[in-house]
Amino acid sequence: MKQISQEKLDHIVKESMPFTRTGKVATYIPELSKANADALGIWIYDVNGETIHAGDVDTRFTIQSVSKVVTLIYALEAYGEEVFTRIGVEQTADAFNSIIKLETRNNGKPLNPLINAGAIATTSFIIEKEGKDGFIKLSNFLRKLAQNESIAVNMSVYESEQRTGDTNRALAYFQKGVKTFSASVEDVLETYFKTCSLEVQAKDLAQIARVIANNGLNPETDEQLFSAQTARMTKAIMSTCGMYDSSGHFALHVGIPSKSGVGGGIMSVVPGKFGIGIIGPALDDKGNSAAGVELLSRLSKEYSLSIFG
């Protein structure tokens, strides 16, 4: 990887490390509270397959909301823009698990597919079309994008989410109550929780991001895993909605299409160039990796990676 040097990447990670102390690990899912708050790592793949990494990249974590990007890609490829009859594409100013806009706007239609309500709606669409096989197909698709057949559900995290996921149940039941979807709420949430509980490493996120950066083409096998149109829409939605209610601030200061998760992961796409995976379990008050955002900000400024020039 010619553009980003190992020495500079090591330095940026070291400079960003103190920001782990400005965040806290997620506790609303009890199993996530066991994460190492001091961990920080980054893995980068370029579209030609070269790789560079630094920090705690061996750390395993559950993918959580980063999976929403894969769910969206899968649904768009399988069913096209019909998906957007159920979900909007607008940014939210509310928390990722907020229910407010479901009642006050769009008759129960979530604002975008990268918040909890929107991902539940996308998942319901898949379950209505494919039944319980939806999770098998969705998780197999994620493994193919990551080029890692060993990715599996962390059952402790899944069971923890099932026990404590009442807010997500409220989001799902409200949508079903206003007839946004017709599938079984428990079937939808089983798939949603299991998908969020898939255990990955930073390199897996970087691999997925690299395919998005390359417009759906796996550069190693030359297989078109999804269309360039799906990639374009996905990058646009990641740019405007991927970092929850700090997406605008992130676009201004980092400018890289990204998606975060409360497991501490961030998946970032530099179109035509890189896929980036980050792990940093200590979260800021928006639910994004505190040190991970700092790391991306420094990396973007150092190498002029913002898509906005």
Residues 6+ apart with CB under 8 A from 138: 70, 71, 74, 126, 191, 195
150-to-58, 96, 220 alpha-carbon distances in Å? 15, 29, 19
Q: Which tokens belong to 210?
A: 């690299």
Does 262 participate in catalysis according to the annotation? yes
CB 59 within 8 A of CB 201: yes
175-to-135, 179, 183 alpha-carbon distances in Å? 20, 6, 11
Does 65 participate in catalysis according to the annotation? yes
Does 192 participate in catalysis according to the annotation? yes
Which of 13, 16, 45, 65 does the annotation list as catalytic?
A: 65
Rounded distance, CA 270 to CA 273, Å? 5
Which of 69, 194, 244, 259 does the annotation list as catalytic?
A: 244
Rounded distance, CA 242 to CA 250, Å? 9
CB 68 within 8 A of CB 119: yes
Residue that has been written with the tokens 């006050």 in this structure: 104
Which of 83, 254, 262, 270 does the annotation list as catalytic?
A: 262
β-bridge partners, 55: 41
| Closest by Cα among 292, 293, 284 to 26 | 284
Which of 45, 57, 68, 289 does the annotation list as catalytic?
A: 68
DSSP code for 65: G
Which of 74, 176, 192, 270 does the annotation list as catalytic?
A: 192
Instruction: Tell me which residues are annotated as active site.
Output: 65, 68, 192, 244, 262
